[in-house]
Each structure stands twice: as structure tokens, then as C-alpha cells.
A and B are shown apart, each in its own frame.
Chain A
Amino acid sequence: MNKLARFDWSSLVLCVVLVCIGLVNIYSVLYNANDNSLALSYIEKQVTSLGLGTALIIITQFLDTRFFERYASIIYLLAIVSLLGLWLFGTEVSGAQSWYSIGGFSLQPSEFAKVAVALALAKHLGDFNTQIDQTRDYIGAFLILGIPAILTLLQPDAGTALVLLGFFLVLHAEGLPSFFLLILIILFVLFLSTLLVGIYWVMAAVFLLAILYIGLQSKRKQKKAVFPALVSVVLLCGFAYSVSYIFEEIFEQRHRDRFNILLGKEVDTQGIGYNINQSQIAIGSGRFSGKGFLEGTQTKGGFVPEQQTDYIFTTIGEEWGFVGSALVLILFLTLILRIVRVAYKQKTTFARVFCLGFACTLFIHVAINLGMVVGLVPTIGIPLPLISYGGSSLLAFSVFLGIYLRIAYQRMA
């Protein structure tokens, strides 16, 4: 077979298109007719990162696939160390200590930790001794996810922690008992309902459900059912209580506000709801075909904060309209599904898990970011992959893409 034809050109092209869309829109956000030096300097930085990323991708193509499998543990350890190092050497930017600044550049190790976790998980599951439905093995997997997740959550960087939690989807696809996913869903429902209706109603509901559960059992099994039901009640109530406690006592007001806005408990378009409101105005005012390149009034007026990074999609929505935003959405969906398809064509578990990890990371990023700008998910600082301005993110996804392309090329060999 032709060697070049084996290369996953379509994924690469999709990524290149997305990056270009990113550049155009970053330029538009920062464009200023009177003094355009700011926009140009940002573009210059982004293009520099892009150059570095391209170099990384090219280098990766010349490495042996086994290289990644072999050094996965070391890469993972390095990532953990770099996360720990933040406590000592990190710089605080807007409340989160998640940056290293080296010379003129700043680097966000948590971005790279995602790649490391994907590699480590792939290695762990790829080991022929590992059976993911066995307690020892899934606990190992949980630890691989959990340690960096907790470290990032402490920075605090909830976004990255959520992305890492997303690897549960990969584990589930690989055979993790559905029980865990069910638990996750139950906890999520409990979490939401606690915030929405209050701790006491939730506790009452849990208690009622437990009694209902016991009552529905046949007489013979009733006695047996009492104990596990009681334990569940205690655990669930404990969870609900801790959610409530964390929400009320540990969360700062700004965190609470974010949730309250989203849950519709408070409506304030000037203060805390400003971001969501303005980004929806920007996207909504684009209508079908958008206002045109450099014509976005919301964009020009700087009404949406962080517009070149996390809120870049609002510019796409405003200036390119439904056509543009739907196109970006379709490009992302195609890319993710393409990677999943490639994943299941892999011969080794390591390759498959890594590819799924890449797809999953992309998905969580896209889902949370787009969900946030259109007001479906609370404000969580997470960039739109390949499009948002930001060197670390772009480099991390370059590495992801590079390894993915290399592995995908290898599959037939």
C-alpha cells in the first residue's frame, strides 16, 4: 500500500482548517482600525506557537510507536512533578496558580498533563495483565486519573479536572463496569437537585425512595434489603450534604453565582450574568449569515470578556452567523468521530485507548466550551481546542495530534 495514503490526512486537514478559523477570529477580536499592533502581536505569538507545534508534529512522525508506550510512565511522572512544582514555582494568573513563566513565555503544565494521562492510561490498559473490570485494575486507572485531577482542582483549575474526569468515558468504553457511570450520573443528579431545591428536600426524597425500594421487595428479601438501602441512604445523604456544605461554605461567591445564573436562580445581566448574557447577545445577533468579518459590533466594542481565548466562539457566531458556527460545530464533530473510528481500527489496546483519550479530551473541551458560551453549562474556564488563543493549549493539542497521527499510521504495520 502507498505509504502516504496510510497517513490520516483527513484529521490533519480538519485540524488545519480549525486552526485557520482560529487565527482569522483572533485577529478579528483584537482588530483596531486605528492601531492594529495589538492584533498583529497576538497573531505573531499564535503563529509562533503554531510553528513550534508543527515542528513537534513532524518530529513525532519519526519516532517509533513503541517509544510512547515505553516512556509513557516517565512522561506521566514528569507531568505529575510539573503539576506539583506549581506549588513552588508557579505564577498566579487571575486567581489560579497554574502557570510557569519562563523568560517571556508562560506555560500551563496541566495542558500537557492531559496528553500524559492519555498515554499512561493507554499503557495501563494496554498491559496484557490488566483487566479493567477487576477491582485492582480499575482502582489503578482511577489513580492515574485522580492524582492529576486533584492536583489541578487544587490550583484551582476546574476545567482541566473536568477534562481528566472525562477519561471515565474511555474507561467505560474499555469495559469499566457501567455501575461507575451510573454512580456518576446519580451523583450528578443529586448535585444538581441539591443546588436547585435544597438539601432537605433531597434528603427527604432519598429516604422516600429507599422506603419505596424496600417496600417493593418480596417479603423474603425485605430483611436483606434493609441494610444496603440504609447504607445507600447514608452515603447519598452524606454526598448531598457535602455538596451543600462545599457550595455554601467552601465555594466563593463568584463560584456560587456561576451556578445560580445557570440554574436560573438569579437573573442579573449586568453583574455576574454579564459574560453569559453578552456572549449570547453576540452569537444571537449574528443571525443566519453573520455581520461579516471585522463587522461584529459586540466584538469591536469588547463587550464579551476573554473573547480571544475562552469566548472565541462568540466572534464566530457574531461575524459568521449560524452558517459559521454550525460549520465549526460540524468540523469538530467530524474530527472527533473520525478519531473514534480510527481508534477502533487499531490493533493494539494501547493505540486504541490513546486515540479514544484524544477524542474524549477534544469532546469534553468542545462540549464544555460551546455549552458555556451558549449558556448551557456554567462558566468554566476552558479553551476551544485549536481555535482559542493560547500557546500551551495549542502545543498540547499539537502533541496529541502528532502522537495520534503517528499511531494511526502504524496501525497496519
Chain B
Amino acid sequence: MRVRFFPILVGLFGIVMFVRLFSLQIVSDEYGDLSLKNSVLKQYVYPERGYIYDRNGKLLVSNQPMYDLMVVPKNLSAFDTLNLCEMLGLTKQQLIDKLTKAKRYSLRAPSVLLAQISKQDYALLQEKMWKFPGMYIQRKSVRAYQTNVASNILGYISEVNYFDIETNPYYKQGELIGRQGIEKTYEKILRGQKGVSYLQRDKFNRIIGSYKDGRLDSLPVPAQDITLSIDIDLQEYGTKLLANKRGGILAIEPNTGEILMSVSMPTYAPNLLVGRERSENFKVLKQDTLNRFLFDRSLQGQYPPGSPFKVLNALIALEEEVITPKATFTCNSGHFYARNQFMECKCKRGTINNLDRGIHKSCNTYFSNVYRRIIDKDNNAPDGMNTWHSHLGSFGLGNYLGYDHPVGQSGYVPNANFYNLWYPNQRWRGATTVSNAIGQGEILMTPIQLANVAATIANRGFFYSPHFVKGIQGDFIDSRYKTKRYTTISTKHFDPVVEGMANVVKKGTARVAAVRGIEVCGKTGTIENFTKINGVRTQLTDHSMFIAFAPKENPKIALAVIVENGYWGGRWAAPIASLVIEKYLTGDVKRKWLEKRMMEGSLEAEYAKITSNEPFTINE
């Protein structure tokens, strides 16, 4: 035993050491990272973020330098604090706090003393930097917006958050990422690919050379510029027309699917989200639940489509051969669609309407009958409903259109199942769901869907997926934006409907939308809508809606306009649409009086009713 004691001790030590080395080097994986954190500095080289242009080559978004005042506490020596405070607009205590914070972070590593100094302060400071040893100025690149509109399209960039870093290994703390809009959709194109060089650090955080002789380093891949399909002048014009109103305008070029404008009001100037006041501004925008600045009404707003939906019912009815363009229905200022159930209409008693008159007079009775014929075809409401549903689906309704912007809503189109749940045992017919005939039932559509319907009618039966980007630095965009998407409606059925829409402007509900020398086709909408005020369902003033395209032959623009609580379609939406059309097609607007009325008209009083806590009347 005595003889063996020492060798056993040696053996025991061997086992303990072996286990310890095994656990340190094989089992535990934290040390590898720790050593890299310790001694290898990854220095990134960022390519400049890509520029964004409008369809006419106007620069919308570029970059600008911002300056951070950095400090290395170890290298500080006595300096004129008063002088520095004056230049930076800080109190002495603030400066001391910031310095203390920097010291606590690290004595040898640089930290930010003051972020995002303006160009003016920078100019002043730069000359005197020699007075402040241990401090230096670091240049940073942020976005510079050359326009005050289109913030809903362009979106914004912001620093990556924890979630981004967790889900995408490309991003590191403090880097920027496209957070919304085009900046988000085309993030990879706009940012390029950062380059990286690995540097070996010593224990004092000094760089002592490149790591592994630069074998791991990579060069940055430059970012690409993007040309939008947006016409920024038109966007600006639309924004002005919608001033002091809530709503949206979305215009599409029918024969390409390019989105010409996408106005959502109220909006904010994109420059608000740049610079030192960014977070303060963002909070204000985010917290306004009435104006909803960050809510894109043209893409996300879901409204009952109202009367413009009638043209879709007309198309489906023609395709299903339940009517001919010449078929007539009699309207008696409305009609009974069931016992004691009367639907009003603006037609005089005894009016006889065919398709053309039905459209341009927006006759409820006519379209109720049309709708019931579609649904009750072969006396089978569920089949009729599903046929109707699939026709609408071919227009992209009830679904996302596949455009290149991160926000949106699918809208809603009911099918037979939906009503089977509401009315068990199939006790429902066309008449049960007759509100759908005039776009007031369960259907929801977004302005971009409405505009796309207008574009589809303009094209007589097909559309391209709408999109915001025209080109990416020479290369053209995704092929899916160049593929025609045909609807299930035959081309021949479009002509009578287009005729009716032309008459809407010529002699129908939107004569105000007529533009001299251009044949405009459109359809008004006056949309009943409700909200809950203190838990009580309350009807509000109707939304004013208009869809249109022009010119009638070989259309260049198709659009949808909604003005929330603007009352009838011809009051706000139709004039605004026609002004946009005039502006886009002629480059100038002759009807200054109309333009003035639209720009200066305000609906703020209307919106104030909801929050006034007092009883109010609507549609006045």
C-alpha cells in the first residue's frame, strides 16, 4: 500500500486533469467565442446605401453624413469644459454624466459622447478638436430625403433590434436595417454586402495586425440604386389634394402594373425619422391612434367597396350569361327584395334600366336583381356564391396582390361556407345576401385592390401584379411583375361595362370628373360605414369613393380614391381622381377652382365628431 500510494496519487491526478481538459476544451463551447471577443476585432466596411429615384429619374432618397463625437477616456486630459459645453449645447452636469458613463463602459475603447451632431455644429467643432485630446469625430451615414411626401412608400431604416440579430446572422448590434416600405422589401439590394476585415488585438485593445494575415477578410459588395415606378410630382399633387382629409389614392399604369402613386393621408415627412429627434418623433407618430400616421390607408385600409363593386357584379353576370347588356329591370325608387324588406335607390319611380343606365345611374335595384340572378342561378345559392367568389378571386380580391411593399391587407370576399355558418341548413339565397350586390355586405377591399380592378377593366380582362419598383440599376425587376394575370371574364364582356363607366362621367353620377379632351371612365361609391363609440355601434358619414381609368381607349392610368367620411362619391373622390388624371395626362390642371376646392377642403370637423362625446348628425 505504501509503495502504491504515490503512483495511485499520480494516476488520480492524471484522471482529474484529463477530465478537466476534456470539459474545458471539448464539452464547453463558450471559450472559443470569448477568445475571439477578446482578441479579434471584426471591422466592417459598409457600402453606401443605395439611392432611390422616381420613375422620371428624380432623386428621392440619398445619404447624408452625421457626426458622432467619440471619446477614449484614457486619452483625455484637462480641457476647456465650458467651451465644449457651449458648442454642443450641453450643461456641465450633462457632460460630466456622459463622460462618467463612457468611463464606466471602457477606459481604452471609444464610446459615443454625443450622437448625431448636425453639420453646423460639426463645422464649429472640427476646428477646435485639437483642444480636446482623447476625443474625435466619427462620420456616420444616414438617409437624406429629397422629398416631403411618399413616406408611406419609402418606409424607413432603423437600428437592428434583438429580434433581427437573433433571426439574421448578417446583422450586428448598431447596424441599420430597412424597417418599413421599399427600404424593407429591397433591403438586400439597397444595403449591398458589408465587407469585413479581421484584426488581431492585444490585451490593451490595440490593433497589432491583421488576423490570420487577412485570409478571412472580404470586400464589400456595393449597394444598388432603385428606380421606383412612382411619379413623385403626382404623389406630391395627390398629397396636397387630400390635405386635411383622411383617405388614400392609389394609381396604377394599367399596361405595366406599375404603381404611379400611393397616397395615404394623414402622412408625415420622411425626414422626421432621421437624426437626433428620431425616437421622439417616432413616438408621436406611433401613438396617434386617430390619425394613424404609420397606417397606410392605400394599402392597408379595408373598406366596403360600395358602388364601384357593381361593375364587378355586372361583369360576372355577363360571363355567367344571366343577363345581356340589353336586359332591363324596373326601379321604383328601390324595390322589395323580400317580404317587408325594401332597398332604396335614387332612381325615380318606374325607371327602366339596362346595363348602361344601371351603371351610370348606379341603380341599386338593377344590381340587386343582377346579383340575385348570379347567386340563385340554377336555384343553387351555394354553387352560385362559390362561382361568384372564384370570379372575384381572379381579380385578386380576398387575397394579397403580391406587390413589393411589406404592408397590406387581403380584404375579404365571402363564399358559400361563410353563409352556411351564418344560416345553417342552407336557408339563404341571393336575397339574403343582397347587400353584396352594391358592395355593402361582407365584402372588404383595399384601395390598391380597387385601383387594380379599375386597371383590369381598363385592360379589358387582365392585370399585372402591381408593383412599386420599375428597375434596379439597369436590370429589370422580378419576372412575376411581367406576367399577365387573366381574369375569368371574357374580354368581350368588358366593352359594355366600360361604356357604362364612360357614361358615369358623361351623364351619370360623376359629371364633375369629366376632363376636357380626355374620355374618363369611372364609378362612384358612397359607402355606409359604422364605428363603435363607447361600445355603441354608430353610423358615421359615408365614405366618398371613386374608381376610374383614362383615357377610355388605350388607358394610361387607373386609380381608386377614398376620402373617409366625405359623403357621396362625387363630392370628394371623383373630383380628386379627375384632377389626378388631368395632371398626369396633360401635365397641367386647368380647373384651378376645383383644385383649390379640393386642396382647401377640410374634413377635420367631421372627424372631430367621433371624439367629441356629443351626439352628432351624419351625411350633412
- Interface residues of chain A, those whose CB is within 8 Å of chain B, are 33-34, 169-170, 172-173, 175, 278, 280-288, 295, 297-298, 300-303, 317-318, 321-322, 325-326, 329-330, 333, 336-337, 340, 344, 356, 359-360, 363, 366-367, 370-371, 374, 376
Contact = CB atoms under 8 A, between A and B. Distances in A.
B38 A317 contact: no
Contacts of A173: 2-3, 5-6
> Interface residues of B: mostly helix, strand, loop or mixed?
helix
A172 B2 contact: yes
A336 B10 CA distance: 8
Contacts of A366: 13
Interface in B28-69: 28-32, 34-36, 38-40
29 contacts: A170-B6, A173-B6, A175-B2, A281-B31, A281-B34, A281-B38, A284-B30, A284-B35, A285-B32, A287-B26, A287-B29, A297-B35, A297-B36, A300-B39, A301-B203, A303-B202, A303-B203, A317-B21, A317-B25, A322-B25, A325-B25, A329-B17, A333-B13, A340-B10, A363-B6, A363-B9, A366-B13, A374-B20, A374-B21
Interface centre among B11, B34, B200, B201 (most CB of A within 10 A): B34
B21 A322 contact: yes
B3 A344 contact: yes
Nearest to A292: B212
Nearest to B200: A300
B35 A302 contact: no
B38 A284 contact: no
Nearest to A323: B25
A337 B24 contact: no
B8 to A, nearest CB: 11
B6 A287 contact: no
A340 B26 contact: no
Nearest to A376: B20
Contact of A329 (B7, B14, B35, B208): B14
B22 interface: yes
Contacts of B30: 284
B396 to A, nearest CB: 55
Given A281-B34, A301-B38, A333-B14, A172 B22 contact: no
Contact of A318 (B13, B35, B203): B35
Interface string B171-207: 0000000000000000000000000000011110000
Interface of B: 2-3, 5-7, 9-11, 13-14, 16-18, 20-22, 24-26, 28-32, 34-36, 38-40, 200-203, 208-209, 211-212
B208 A300 contact: yes
Given A287-B32, A326-B21, A301 B7 contact: no
B42 to A, nearest CB: 12
Given A282-B35, A333-B10, A374-B20, A288 B5 contact: no
Given A170-B6, A287-B25, A322-B25, 7 more contacts: A173-B5, A281-B38, A283-B31, A284-B28, A297-B40, A301-B203, A376-B20
A285 B13 contact: no
Nearest to B12: A367
A284 B39 contact: no
Contacts of A318: 35
Contacts of A330: 14
Contacts of B28: 284
Contacts of B6: 169-170, 172-173, 340, 356, 359-360, 363
A337 B7 contact: yes
A298 B22 contact: no
Chain A CB within 10 Å, residue with most, of B2, B7, B24, B211? B24
A321 B21 CA distance: 9
Contacts of B209: 33-34
Nearest to B211: A297
Which 6 A/B pairs are nearest by Cβ-Cβ distance?
A284-B31, A285-B35, A301-B39, A297-B39, A322-B25, A301-B202
A329 B24 CA distance: 15
A187 to B, nearest CB: 18
Nearest to B198: A297
Given A173-B3, A301-B39, A337 B10 contact: yes
Nearest to A176: B2
Contacts of B18: 326, 329
B208 A283 contact: no
B10 A280 contact: no
Given A298-B39, A329-B18, A284 B3 contact: no
Contacts of A363: 6, 9-10, 13
A374 B24 contact: yes
Q: Name the residue among A285, A298, A321, A322 with the largest chain B CB count within 10 angstroms.
A: A285
A282 B34 CA distance: 9
A172 B21 contact: no
Given A284-B30, A287-B26, A337-B7, A298 B17 contact: no
